[in-house]
């Protein structure tokens, strides 16, 4: 099992397990004590097999010292959880307990309660009572109730309960991991893009994060004064020359840069990658060369680089820096990706972070560029789309910052995939590099030169595109589109790709259609997208994103997730059961941001 050092200050969050019991002595509590504690242990054992932090470490679990039969033991457990760094709370019980006396009252920790479905000792009655207490007190909690009755003393976890425990825990760990970290703006607003108008209140109130800022000139200062690990720079540059293949230069001859300029662009691009990483998470090597302040970094779990245009009109673009940091490998080997948003689009950066923390995989940053209808494709290429692409598709493409994992050269079960770094082999990482060309940048867009990654994502990968948008008077809203990547005949791809910029990475994406609302057709999905960017994550994780959003009190304005997979706090049902989207908006508005 591969692991890496935790990059961020503070310990990784733990999950606390609270076994609740009927507090009445003289035979009642005593008969339940062992069963209740064993149920809690079985939850910890199951989740420990299926949960990992971003760096590969196993998630730790903190068990209450005793079963919780009343307020005294609830308080003792709360004190232990605070001391141990618990960021997620799960209460389990096979029996009736005193709801308001045993509940977890910590306000900003995500909570779930599993009430055992049994007839001898009604854990389901406790579940209903304690959820009512949570709702009445304004402390939303997730209720977990198995479909099938179990026998008393049975500590096995039914499959439907496992699904909800895992869905809750992944999302809750994401909430706890973000808390206290930073978003680092490197530069400011890029080309009037609203997402790069960083909203500090959103980060503070909804995510529990702080905002840090450095000017683009900090990159120049660190390059001029050589504030980076020079040994690593030489090693990185050598690795780049060996593994990053240059592609054709599409610029007109009079706008092409000389070989000397291109070599200098590579040197600057590699230095930019080192500097951006050091700005985000620090580097002890900088202390050794006399830069103690710089060695600390900004504790940034996400960063954004403005780039255009103040930087790129004069210096090489940030595409290599962004692409390689967002990938799961570089000159230091296979490692967890860093999350870095191009054009300082903080809202897309946050969406990328959501996907990363839920899956532990790299994320693809892309423009939602073009909807190609079947008729338009046939008119331009003579080819009528078929299969997954028969209803048209969306061209996801940006100037080259997408993670190289997005090539689809990683595999699961022999199929294209993206996966956690600890599952990636050296051979797979090399395949991603081999499938990528580094094209001299379009000097019309990027006057300062640089390189853009150019690859084509392999087809038939299940993926989820998502985006957070800020709306005045409403706040943040999340949109989600599950679907698949598709492959087109080579000549069709080239014809369509050449109409945009063939030097950039391309993903052809088809959302899953439901026949209703926004997802009645592909055009409506494109037409309803709330911004120019999206984050693409491997797998169909829309249900997990919905659960995460509800914890943060962010409503979801469009999605194509089946109703039976949606899991929100119990209180959401009190805001309406017929119209779940409307209920979500009302609940998020009533509760307000998690940290306000």
pLDDT in tens, the chain (596 residues): 689 999 999 999 999 999 999 999 998 999 899 999 999 999 999 999 999 999 999 999 999 999 999 999 999 999 999 999 999 999 999 988 999 999 999 999 999 999 977 766 677 889 999 999 999 999 999 999 988 887 777 778 999 999 999 999 999 999 999 999 999 999 999 999 999 999 999 999 999 999 999 999 999 999 999 999 999 999 999 999 999 999 999 999 999 999 999 999 999 999 999 999 999 999 999 999 999 999 999 999 999 999 999 999 999 999 999 999 999 999 999 999 999 999 999 999 999 999 999 999 999 999 999 999 999 999 999 999 999 999 999 999 998 889 999 999 999 999 999 999 999 999 999 999 999 999 999 988 899 999 999 999 999 999 999 999 999 999 999 999 999 999 999 999 999 999 998 999 999 999 999 999 999 999 999 999 999 999 999 999 999 999 999 999 999 999 999 999 999 999 999 999 999 999 999 999 999 999 98
Predicted confidence at residue 119, as pLDDT, reads 61
CATH number (3.40.50.2300, 3.40.190.10, 3.40.30.10, 3.40.50.1070) of 2-178 reads 3.40.50.1070
Task: Give, for 482, the enclosing helix (H) or strand (E).
Answer: strand 475-486
Dihedral angle over CA of 60, 593, 137, 587, nearest 10: -110
367 marked as binding residue = yes
Task: With CA atoms as reference, report the closest residue to 294 among 304, 303, 302, 286.
Answer: 286
Query: Where exactly are the structural domains of the chain?
Result: 2-178, 182-591
Cite the DSSP H helix spans in 408-541. 426-434, 490-498, 522-528
The three state secondary structure string of 298-332 is: CCEEEEEECCCCCCCCCCCCCHHHHHHHHCCEECC
378 marked as binding residue = no
Dihedral angle over CA of 195, 200, 203, 205, nearest 10: -130
Maximum distance among all Cα pairs of the chain, rounded to whole angstroms: 92
Residue whose pair of structure tokens reads 């909430």 in the numeric block: 175
Q: Quote the CA–CA distance of 398 and 506 in Å, as a whole number.
A: 8
Q: Give whole-number Cα distances, 136 to 129, 133, 236, 312, in Å.
A: 11, 5, 57, 54
Contact 537, 358 (CB under 8 A): yes
The 10 Å Cβ neighbour count of residue 575 is: 19
Residue whose pair of structure tokens reads 């406790």 in the numeric block: 126
Residues with a known catalytic role? 343, 367
Predicted confidence at residue 120, as pLDDT, reads 64
Contact 344, 359 (CB under 8 A): no
Contact 315, 271 (CB under 8 A): no
Tell me if the pTM is above 0.75: yes
**Residues forming beta bridges with residue 52, ordered by sequence position:** 58
**DSSP per-residue string spanning 158-198:** -HHHHHHHHHHHHHHHHHHHHTT-EEEEESS--TT-GGGS-
Half-sphere exposure of 431 (CA within 13 A, CB side): 18
Q: Give whole-number Cα distances, 120 to 34, 95, 156, 252, in Å.
A: 16, 8, 16, 80
Q: Which two tokens stand for residue 306?
A: 């403005």
Q: For residues 103-131, b (16+ Cβ closer than 10 Å) or e, as one string? A: bbebeebbbbbbbbbbeebbbbebbbbbb
Q: What fold is seen in the domain 182-591?
A: L-fucose Isomerase; Chain A, domain 3 (3.20.14)
Half-sphere exposure of 371 (CA within 13 A, CB side): 15
Q: Give whole-number Cα distances, 365 to 145, 196, 536, in Å.
A: 38, 14, 7
Question: 214 φ, ψ to 5°?
Answer: -135, 150
Q: Quote the CA–CA distance of 153 and 526 in Å, as a whole number.
A: 52
Task: With CA atoms as reference, report the closest residue to 281 among 216, 364, 355, 339.
Answer: 339
């Amino acid at each position: 099992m591969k692991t890496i050092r935790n990059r961020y200050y503070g310990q990784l969050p733990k999950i606390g397990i609270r076994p609740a019991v009927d507090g009445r002595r003289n035979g009642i509590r005593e008969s339940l004590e062992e069963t209740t504690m064993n149920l809690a242990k079985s939850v910890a054992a199951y989740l420990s097999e299926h949960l990992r932090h971003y760096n590969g470490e196993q998630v730790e679990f903190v068990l209450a010292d005793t079963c919780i039969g009343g307020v005294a033991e609830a308080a003792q457990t709360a004190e232990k959880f605070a001391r141990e760094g618990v960021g997620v709370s799960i209460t389990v019980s096979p029996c009736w307990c005193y709801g308001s006396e045993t509940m977890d009252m910590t306000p900003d920790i995500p909570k779930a309660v599993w009430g055992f479905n049994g007839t001898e000792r009604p854990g389901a009655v406790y579940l209903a009572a304690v959820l009512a207490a949570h709702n009445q007190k304004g402390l939303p909690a997730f209720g977990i109730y198995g479909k099938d009755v179990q026998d008393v003393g049975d500590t096995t976890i039914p499959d439907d309960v496992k699904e909800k425990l895992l869905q809750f825990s992944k999302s809750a760990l994401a909430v706890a991991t973000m808390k206290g970290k930073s978003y680092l703006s490197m530069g400011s607003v890029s080309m009037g893009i609203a997402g790069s108008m960083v909203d500090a209140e959103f980060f503070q109130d909804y995510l529990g994060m702080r905002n840090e800022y450095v000017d683009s000139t900090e990159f120049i200062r660190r390059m001029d004064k050589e504030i980076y690990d020079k040994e690593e720079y030489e090693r990185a540059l050598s690795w780049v020359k060996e593994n990053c293949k240059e592609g054709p230069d599409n610029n007109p001859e009079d706008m092409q840069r000389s070989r000397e300029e291109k070599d200098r662009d590579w040197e600057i691009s590699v230095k930019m990658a080192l500097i951006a990483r050091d700005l985000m998470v620090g580097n002890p090597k900088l202390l050794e060369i006399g830069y103690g302040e710089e060695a600390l970094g900004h504790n940034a779990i996400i960063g954004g680089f403005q780039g255009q245009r103040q930087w790129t009109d004069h210096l090489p673009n940030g595409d290599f820096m962004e692409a390689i940091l967002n990938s799961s490998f570089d000159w230091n080997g296979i490692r967890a990706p860093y999350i870095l948003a191009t054009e300082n689009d903080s809202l897309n950066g946050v969406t990328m972070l959501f996907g990363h923390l839920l899956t532990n995989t790299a994320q693809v940053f892309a423009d939602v560029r073009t909807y190609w209808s079947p008729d338009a494709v046939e008119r331009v290429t003579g080819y009528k789309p078929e299969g997954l692409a028969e209803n048209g598709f969306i061209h996801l493409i940006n100037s080259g910052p997408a993670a190289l994992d997005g090539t689809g050269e990683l595999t699961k079960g022999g199929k294209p995939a993206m996966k956690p770094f600890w599952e990636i082999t050296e051979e797979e990482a090399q395949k991603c590099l081999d499938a990528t060309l580094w094209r001299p940048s379009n000097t019309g867009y990027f006057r300062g030169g640089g390189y853009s990654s150019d690859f084509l994502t392999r087809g038939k990968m299940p993926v989820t595109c998502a985006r957070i948008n800020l709306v005045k008077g409403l706040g943040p809203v999340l949109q989600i589109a599950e679907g698949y990547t598709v492959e087109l005949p080579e000549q069709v791809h080239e014809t369509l790709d050449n109409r945009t910029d063939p030097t950039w990475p391309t993903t052809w994406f088809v959302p899953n259609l439901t026949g209703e609302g926004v997802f009645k057709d592909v055009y409506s999905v494109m037409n309803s997208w709330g911004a120019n960017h999206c984050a693409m994550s491997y797998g169909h994780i829309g249900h997990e994103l919905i659960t995460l959003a509800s914890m943060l009190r962010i409503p979801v304005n469009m999605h194509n997730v089946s109703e039976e997979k949606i899991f929100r706090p119990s209180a959401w049902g009190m805001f309406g059961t017929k119209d779940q989207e409307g209920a979500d908006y009302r609940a998020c508005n009533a509760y307000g941001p998690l940290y306000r």
